Structure 1
Amino acid sequence: MIRHYVLFKFKPGVSWDDPRAQQAEQIAAKVGGEVPELREWTVGRNISTRPIAYDFAAVGLLDDMEDVERYLVHPFHQEAISAWREISDWVIADVQE
């Protein structure tokens, strides 16, 4: 099993008041229902106020790296990436469980 972590940090001038951020959040919430390779999918806003904190997280569970590769190119996932690319930078980690 592979636990896929993604942490998003807003670009300067972007906040949750921005409609683009709200739209990206809504799209991200739907990825788990649209990408069949995802066994689990959790998203949410970070509640930490520390300066080092990221703004949003997505965590998925997939069977193996082949499923990760299929998830990455899935059209709905690509749509979500487009929404986030405009407003944020992100980091990822794929951890074998």
Structure 2
Amino acid sequence: MIRHLVLFKLNDGVSRDEPRVVAAAKAFEELGGIVPEAEFWECAWNITDRPIAYDFAINSAVADKDALVRYLEHPAHQAAAGQWREFATWVIADYEF
């Protein structure tokens, strides 16, 4: 199994309640039920207020490296990630467990 973690940081001046941010979060919330390679899926807004904290997180798992590639290339994933590119940056970690 491969764990796929993503942490999003909203750009300066962007708030969680903007319609485009709400729509992008909803797109990721729905993604786990759309992409068949996602064997585990959860995402949520950060609940703490610390200077080093990111704003939104995805914690997911896929079977193997091939499944990760299919997930990343899936049109629904591409569309959801494309929304975030407009107003956020992110970091990822993929590891086997």
Q: Larger helix proportion, structure 1 or 2?
A: 1
Residue of structure 1 equivalent to 2:43: 43
Q: Gaps (5+ residues) in structure 2?
A: none
SS, match of residue 82 in structure 1: helix
The aligned amino acid for 2:68 is: V
Structure-to-structure mapping, 1:52-67, within 5 angstroms: 52-67=52-67
Identity between Structure 1 and Structure 2 (%): 49
Residue of structure 2 equivalent to 1:13: 13
Distance 2:76 2:13 in 1: 27
Q: In the TM superposition, what whole-angstrom CA distance separates every residue of 1:34-71 from its partner, at most 9, and x where no partner exists? A: 10001011000001100110000011110001100000
Q: How many residue pairs get matched?
A: 97
Q: In the TM superposition, what whole-angstrom CA distance separates every residue of 1:2-21 from its partner, at most 9, and x where no partner exists? A: 01000000011101121111
The aligned amino acid for 2:62 is: L
Distance 2:62 2:17 in 1: 32
Task: Please give the root-mean-square deviation of Cα atoms over the aligned residues, in Å.
Answer: 0.6
Q: Gaps (5+ residues) in structure 1?
A: none
Residue of structure 1 equivalent to 2:81: 81
SS, match of residue 33 in structure 1: coil
Give TM-score, length-normalised by structure 2: 0.97
The aligned amino acid for 2:31 is: V
The aligned amino acid for 2:10 is: F
Give TM-score, length-normalised by structure 1: 0.97
Distance 2:58 2:47 in 1: 14
